Structure 1
């Protein structure tokens, strides 16, 4: 018989991936939690987690069971909220740039109804996939097969420089115009940096890496200090000079959710508000 009463405990473990922390959150002993997880594994017929070095990692079966447990908990919460008339929060995942430059108005209005995750693109997709976030906002180069993606808006990529810079008065430039410039670049692991380096190699020119920085705000700060020029998404607001780069691909932002999520009125309302705020309705 499937021990469904152990699902809530397994869900806490799946989110923590630490028996000590999960048992503390559940106010039970570690041995008791081990028993619950073991009984679930026996019912499923395969391990739910494995140890990789010092870390515990869910197996694919464990991830599937965690999604099922999260969906079941969400359905129960929704049912109880409808009975009591309480307003449930929507979990929203997005990156730093989206929060700073796209979502501020919506969050200011709806903060009491939101649970926010600050996440990278990969983390945002993972949070939506496993149900911890009902909605994600991110730049996507490729649309995921298992999630629904709604395009919200698109921005050109621009060069940001001080107003006295030789390129500041140009109406537009090409990527090759950055040859020889001192550049404030994203960290090597970030998607924009990967794209810029690939296109630079294709165009066959060099630039000087003045500094690598994580996040638009720090990059703009270095530009203001005269460290170098930076390439950012056109949504970034700044008093510095911005010049469109015509041969860089535009940056599309998408709302991402699991199939059927808009059937939840809260998710549908939040998505509609975001689209209206960005002029994409």
Structure 2
């Protein structure tokens, strides 16, 4: 019969891809760890790792087992948390992803309230999370929830909750020829140099900016692609190029950058939280309770 400690050992080796580091992480010697893995492989009936003198790699059976091992270990942790929370005080670890620019207001409010109202929840914050990376990590249970930009249906088993709804505009350096304008049509940005996030499909903000440029009949000329959203507005202020961002950035714009409205109907951009229906942990339910109490359903700003 398979033992829980075998799965813990398997996950450690799968994540470290090194028996020595995995043994150190588990506070055991390398030889007993190798014996545990061999027992697990005998029980499964297939090798789980390809071993050489220099590398350790997951085999196809190992790759197939890993998500189920995560799920079993997570279910055990959830069960333990539920038992500790039986008296009405949720406990356990809660891992929340966020992106700095979008969360300059929301993150402090919700984390402070979570700590004040549910001190038994161990909050772990993971920064630099872009939309589709966040969705993938929530789906894979690497994150319990993540703040992100919302574009379209997130797909089962994920659930999304809108927090804020803003509209897109243009950010330019204060010495740019367009800086004195109150509003401009999007097609007037043709030929401008842009600063954007990486064009890899991971950022909902970059996807939205590209969509409105394409709808206006042009492909933006990207002078610089950077993943840090704060660096985007800093580079605009430095004169590297212009960018398209939601109006939520207005409070944090550098002095050398200015905001210009887009002519026509406002182009909305929603920011929210995503989590998985498969996650039944007490800390997640505590987080969702706080979310509903602090952030009502938004209107366009």
What is the deviation of 1:80? 4.3
Does structure 2 conserve the Cα–Cα contact (< 8 Å) formed by 1:175 and 1:248?
A: no
Deviations 1:211-251 (A, max 9, x none): 32222211111122222211123322334422344578533
Structure 1, unpaired ranges of 5+? none
Cα RMSD of the aligned pairs, angstroms, is 3.4
2:240 partner SS: coil
Question: What does 1:35-54 align with in structure 2 at a 5 Å threshold?
Answer: 35-46=35-46, 48=48
> TM-score with structure 2 length normalisation?
0.75
- The equivalent position to 1:116 in structure 2, one of 125, 138, 156, is 125
Distance in 2, matches of 1:50 and 1:95, equals 37
More helix per residue: 1
Equivalent residue pairs, number:
279
- The equivalent position to 1:224 in structure 2, one of 237, 242, 252, is 237
Deviations 1:32-82 (A, max 9, x none): 22332333344344554568x957355132222222222213322443465
Does structure 1 conserve the Cα–Cα contact (< 8 Å) formed by 2:209 and 2:245?
A: no
Distance in 1, matches of 2:273 and 2:21, equals 33
1:242 partner SS: strand
Does structure 2 conserve the Cα–Cα contact (< 8 Å) formed by 1:11 and 1:69?
A: no
Between stretches 170-179 and 227-236, larger displacement belongs to 170-179
Q: For residue 10 of structure 2, what is the aligned residue in structure 1?
A: 10
Change (3 A) 1:34 1:121: farther
2:284 partner SS: helix
What is the deviation of 1:195? 4.9
> TM-score with structure 1 length normalisation?
0.80
What is the deviation of 1:259? 1.4
2:245 partner SS: strand
Change (3 A) 1:80 1:206: closer
Change (3 A) 1:38 1:70: farther
Distance in 2, matches of 1:154 and 1:42, equals 54
Does structure 2 conserve the Cα–Cα contact (< 8 Å) formed by 1:71 and 1:131?
A: no
Structure 2, unpaired ranges of 5+? none
Q: For residue 258 of structure 1, what is the aligned residue in structure 2?
A: 276
Q: For residue 290 of structure 2, what is the aligned residue in structure 1?
A: 273
Distance in 2, matches of 1:230 and 1:136, equals 25
Question: What does 1:68-79 align with in structure 2 at a 5 Å threshold?
Answer: 68-79=72-83
Between stretches 92-101 and 154-163, larger displacement belongs to 92-101
Distance in 1, matches of 2:145 and 2:108, equals 16
